[in-house]
Amino acid sequence: MRLELSDGKGGQINLSQFEGRRVAVDAGRRGRKPALALITATDIAPLRSRSFFASMPSMSPSRAGILPGVVGTLLVMLVTMIFAIPLGVAAGIYLEEYAPKNKFTALIELNIANLAGVPSIIWGLAGLALFIFALHLERSVLSAGLTLGLLVLPIVIISTREAIRAVPNTVREAAVALGATRWQATRYHVLPYSLGGILTGSIIAMSRAIGETAPLVVIGAVLFISFLPPWPVQPQPPFVNLEFLNSKFTVVPMQIFDWVSRPQPEFHANAAAASLVLLAMTLGLNAIAIALRFRARKSIKW
């Protein structure tokens, strides 16, 4: 076949070369299907080894483990829970039971609903500005947990309000009619009935935070770490060790990101196995939330 070029000269193209390449591409696509069928069995191979869960990261794929990532994830989630759940529940109780119904309260409620949909990277930048630059905290477990706490705080507030709103007003009216104060009615009647929904919403919020990566990248999570943060519980008095709050850390999503960015296929298998571990942790939290909701619904009778 002849092809006329722009300068009027002709050029010859051998179509057999392109045909051969097309056949090779088609064969490669057909040959990829068995590989996809084996990807699950190949990628879960690291999960069969105890060393994968008990080892530090390594430059060798066969010796690399996720122990620092799992420990860091648990510690960051601990700080997130301690910060977000009490504050979110208290804010939800106030907005639903005590806040005056005016334009200012309506504006706050609207902003809380909008904050629940803000991208996580924005919360990372907010945590960087507030905790690192303004409060001069270190790039540590504490700043990471507080940042993720800000991220899930609107979710905890909204779920708390929805759970309290589900309690009939007759419960409050009956308690007040019997001489209880407004706080006593809330403390001894409204909160027990709404506790299941509050716990469910809080755990679902934690299941979102456990997989977040973008805020931790901004805060300064470490990709490669060869040590474990101090454990918060110690055998000697006072039995609580707060040194972990200022420790460097990594989390499972960061470990997955590090392994995926490496060229060796063995690291990619490690990343897939770590993804299954993270998925299991998330599903475990969701299962706990479902169990709490089911148990709460069985105990409610009105």
- Average pLDDT of the chain is 83
Q: Are 269 and 288 in contact (CB under 8 A)?
A: no
- Percent pLDDT > 70 in the chain is 83
Q: Where are the domains of the chain?
A: 2-43, 56-299
Average pLDDT of the segment spanning 27-39: 41
Q: Tokens 């770490």 map to which residue?
A: 225
Confidence of residue 3 (pLDDT cuts 50, 70, 90): very low
Structure tokens given for 299? 């105990």
CATH number attached to the domain at 56-299: 1.10.3720.10
Helix (H) or strand (E) holding 80: helix 67-93
Q: Kindly write down the DSSP assignment for every residue of 210-265, as one continuous string.
A: TT--HHHHHHT--SS--S-PPPSB-SSTT-B-GGGGGS----HHHHHHHHHTSS-H
List the one residue out of 159, 168, 157 whose CA is nearest residue 193: 168
Give the C-alpha separation, 159 to 293, whole Å.
12
* Span of 21-25, 220-224, 267-271 with lowest mean pLDDT: 21-25
CA dihedral 117, 120, 122, 125 (to 10 degrees): 150
